[in-house]
Amino acid sequence: MTTDWVAQYLEQFIKKVARENDRLAGKTPYIPYDGFYSDVMIERGYDWWANGFWGGILWQLFNATDQDQFREAAIIQEKRLDRALYEFKDIHHDVGFMWLLTAVAHYQVTGDEQAYRTGLHAASLLAGRFNIEGNFLVSWNDHPGWVIIDSMMNIQLLYWASEQTGDPRFAKLATRHAQTVAKYLVRPDGSVGHIASFNPDTGAFLTQLAGQGVSAESAWSRGNAWALYGFAATYRHTRQLEFLTIAKRVADYFIQQCQLTNDIPLADFRAPKVPQIFDTSAGMIAAAGLLALAELLPKSQQAPYRQAAIKIIQAIVGRYGNWQLTEDGIIGGGTEAYYRPATYEVPLIYADYFFGEALLRLKGNALILW
């Protein structure tokens, strides 16, 4: 049963997104500057990795409310992303983030055939990034031997493609990639590295790299959140227990670390004590992932993960929530990267997306896209 606070947050979330949607008038948000969103597609490109999250918010809310304003605006976002496919200029592995939340959501909700084809197009591009020697999907075009932990969310597009087409190739590539990530980026204590570097010719593992965390040996919290949710989702598609075991290990580590800072995650769990930098986007991703993980477990094992998710959500909203209808951005306190001070503790669109998804999971009517 939905508790009062979930219903209250969700009502406020819907009202604020509707107001933001009016102000945006078709633009794509990322970070609000001076309280208002600009158009990230103009600032960072049509192929910017986070361009799908606003569309994802809109589809989640249309699915929950049946309000046409959200559907119409979501379709505009999807059509804007078409340019990234046509130009094929700087497409990386993030096609999962971009089109699961737009085209795939569109097809799942309405059955639109063009959205279906767009989703398969994106999945085919992702499958084409597979390195057959190393059993991994290349993350970034300028580093053909690099794999980043974020990829665990993107590979869910491949599982969707196999389920839709009956062609096992997509899923097999996704599973091989997940096994490689598990071997080289997930540590015994449940922390994860951000980047694994391989020899692109031989597939041999070389080393872990720092990426957006403090160092190669540290524990960038958003990377831990991607792993938590990504391995849980991979288990949902494969039912291979190795992935459930990893998801629980990463979840336990994340929960333990959050308990040290009043349930709000640091930007890196192994960062120096000063300055103390938080990342609420990691918290909201993890909260949604913890709820997804709980749903995959027997009822007797669900409570610790659901309770941890609720504590994280409530702590973050209590400190960083912004319900002012005259300002853009709902969840403040997101940090893009540890060594990027200009984006310390700012509202990030993906924090808002996963906050909304987590609320809808608690309510029992989330659109399952991962």
Mean pLDDT to the nearest integer, 235-262: 98
CA torsion 276-279-284-287 (nearest 10°) is -40
Two tokens, residue 24: 């945006």
Mean pLDDT to the nearest integer, 300-304: 98
Q: What is the percent of the chain where pLDDT is above 70?
A: 99
When pLDDT is cut at 50, 70 and 90, the band that residue 305 belongs to is very high
When pLDDT is cut at 50, 70 and 90, the band that residue 194 belongs to is very high
Give tens-digit pLDDT for 45-54: 999 999 999 9
- pLDDT surpassing 80 at residue 2: no
DSSP reduced 3-state for 155: coil
pTM of the model: 0.98
The sign one gets for the Cα dihedral 2, 328, 290, 278 is negative
The CATH class that applies to domain 4-363 reads: mainly alpha
DSSP 181-233: HHHHHB-TTS-B-SEEEE-TTT--EEEEE-TTSSSTTS-BHHHHHHHHHHHHH
DSSP reduced 3-state for 33: strand
Residue ranges of domains in the chain: 4-363
Give tens-digit pLDDT for 42-76: 999 999 999 999 999 999 999 999 999 999 999 99
Q: Specify which residues 205 forms β-bridges with.
A: 198
Give tens-digit pLDDT for 106-137: 999 999 999 999 999 999 999 999 999 999 99
Mean pLDDT to the nearest integer, 166-195: 98
Q: What is the percent of the chain where pLDDT is above 90?
A: 98
**How far apart are the C-alpha atoms of 59 and 66, rounded to whole Å?**
10
